[in-house]
Structure 1
Amino acid sequence: MNDYLEDLVQMKLFSGIAPEEIAELLDCLQARRVQYGSGEMIIEECSRVRKFGVMLSGHARSIKWDTSDRVIILTLLEKGSEIGVLLAAQPEKESPVSIQAQDNVTVLMIPYDRVLASCARACPKHDRLLRNYISIVAEKGLVLHERIDCLLKPTVREKILTYLLRISCEQKNDSFQIPLNRNAMSEYLNIERSALSRELSNMKRDGLIDYHLNSFTLNRNSKFL
């Protein structure tokens, strides 16, 4: 696990905790590293989750299937992303989503009850970890709110604009890269691929946006924006 200490220091769960303290903390938490292959389920829908994870490498996605057996992408996960934080806090509830590895993934898995357990040494680092965990839970709630806000938009154009405006805000630039190809973008926005392509062309024609592949530019001066 020492190979990952430099990475863990940068992750929100271990914010404010020194590398040497993280090493001690991982032992106290009984954390372990788990490997997943491409397409493998890290968490399955309807399962009960008692451990949460932090991605050390690779890419994954949180997904559901609709009544037509179509995949809906809820969130995209990468190195540093947390997995199952909300689910582990409610282990009696079944998971409403699946988490699927998109390539070879390494996850640091931590039993939730070890985070809540009182440290025998009453160490400040354990208290800081719990505070970080609560902060992450609050942040996840806000992300879910943004996701729902996007899905509830009544038109294809509004869904696309809501998503693009959020990415622009996150990257603090009107010109930005999105992490999704067109297939993934249509799944994420829960709209047909053909409808997405058609509306993107219309938005470009109307002067709202310009784009090439995954590069987008928002025209803030457009009367349609």
Structure 2
Amino acid sequence: MSNDRLKKLFESNELSTKKYSKDEIIYFQNEECSSFDILISGKVSIQKLDENGNILTITNFYPGDSFGGQMIFADNNYYPMNVISKDESIILNIKKSLVLDLCQNNKQFLSELLKSISNKTLIISNKIHDISLKTIRDCILDYLKYEYKLQNTLTLKMKITKKEWAEKIGVHRPSLSRELMKMKQEGLIDYTRNTITIKDIKIL
């Protein structure tokens, strides 16, 4: 779009930006979705809170990622999960009327929107499949294998806290800690606050 076109859209409120602080809830579960959003800066998490108080982080979004596209045109257009700003974030909101106009007049926008919706559906499907079939230990081993490939060392630097790790696999932090302690007692791993050392290479 030209700068003049963008300026007119912002003036008409069809486009707008909003800032969020760290850990601020952007959309509550069951809140109506009325815009297609693009993350300009920061980090956003999609989280599900179950009846037992477990927080499951479905996915994280980073600058350039979008959300809301799979709900904005749905009959039941309400967020099924909480959308939370995990860092100071800026989000571009595109109103439904403008999304419709862009879909009708811009094939590239339509293609990117459909790709975004398809990718989000796959992310959710894969996450539900993984969590429903895997034990806590399976999830721990998946993470260790992934980080071992990235870091190429048996002493792995932790990039997330235990709280974030527990949310990622949908369990309480004490449950994660108990399983890590069991693995340590079995001689499979050792750990400090910021590292995990793989002592038995066979688990990889």
Which runs of no fewer than 5 residues in structure 2 stay unpaired? none
Question: Following the alignment from structure 1 to structure 2, what is the Cα–Cα distance between the partners of residues 149 and 220?
Answer: 28
Q: 2:24 aligns with which of 33, 40, 46?
A: 40
After superposing the two structures, state which structure 1 stretch, 129-138 or 152-161, moved more: 152-161
- Residue 187 in structure 1 maps to residue 163 in structure 2: no
- Residue 75 in structure 1 maps to residue 59 in structure 2: yes
One-letter amino acid of the counterpart of residue 29, structure 2:
E
Give the deviation of 1:91 after TM superposition: 5.7
Matches within 5 A, 1:66-145: 66-90=50-74, 92-117=76-101, 122=105, 126-145=106-125
Classify 1:191/1:41 alpha carbon distance in 2 versus 1 (closer, same or farther; 3 Å): closer
After superposing the two structures, state which structure 1 stretch, 57-66 or 130-139, moved more: 57-66
Answer whether contact 2:56 2:171 (CA < 8 A) is retained: no
One-letter amino acid of the counterpart of residue 68, structure 2:
G
Give the deviation of 1:219 after TM superposition: 8.8
- Secondary structure in 2 matching 1:117: helix
Q: 1:31 aligns with which of 8, 15, 19?
A: 15
Give the deviation of 1:195 after TM superposition: 2.7
Question: Following the alignment from structure 2 to structure 1, what is the Cα–Cα distance between the partners of residues 85 and 170?
Answer: 20
Question: Corresponding residue for 1:149?
Answer: 129
- Secondary structure in 1 matching 2:39: strand
Question: Following the alignment from structure 2 to structure 1, what is the Cα–Cα distance between the partners of residues 197 and 114?
Answer: 35
Answer whether contact 2:190 2:196 (CA < 8 A) is retained: yes
Give the deviation of 1:41 after TM superposition: 2.1
Question: Following the alignment from structure 2 to structure 1, what is the Cα–Cα distance between the partners of residues 182 and 102?
Answer: 58
Matches within 5 A, 1:58-69: 58-69=42-53
Give the deviation of 1:183 after TM superposition: 0.7
One-letter amino acid of the counterpart of residue 133, structure 1:
L
Question: Following the alignment from structure 1 to structure 2, what is the Cα–Cα distance between the partners of residues 155 and 107?
Answer: 36
Question: Following the alignment from structure 1 to structure 2, what is the Cα–Cα distance between the partners of residues 107 and 40?
Answer: 13
Give the deviation of 1:106 after TM superposition: 0.7
Question: Following the alignment from structure 2 to structure 1, what is the Cα–Cα distance between the partners of residues 75 and 8?
Answer: 21
What is the identity percentage for the equivalent residue pairs of Structure 1 and Structure 2? 24
One-letter amino acid of the counterpart of residue 27, structure 2:
I
- Secondary structure in 2 matching 1:87: coil
- Secondary structure in 1 matching 2:71: helix
Question: Following the alignment from structure 2 to structure 1, what is the Cα–Cα distance between the partners of residues 162 and 197?
Answer: 16
Q: How many residues align?
A: 198
After superposing the two structures, state which structure 1 stretch, 45-54 or 69-78, moved more: 69-78
Question: Following the alignment from structure 1 to structure 2, what is the Cα–Cα distance between the partners of residues 189 and 35?
Answer: 28
TM-score by length of 1: 0.69
Query: What are the superposed Cα offsets for residues 90-131 of structure 1, whole Å, 9 maximum, x if unpaired?
Result: 2633221111223322101112342232689x5xxx211111
Classify 1:198/1:96 alpha carbon distance in 2 versus 1 (closer, same or farther; 3 Å): same
- Ranked by relative contact order (alpha carbons within 8 Å, sequence separation 6 or more), the top structure is 2
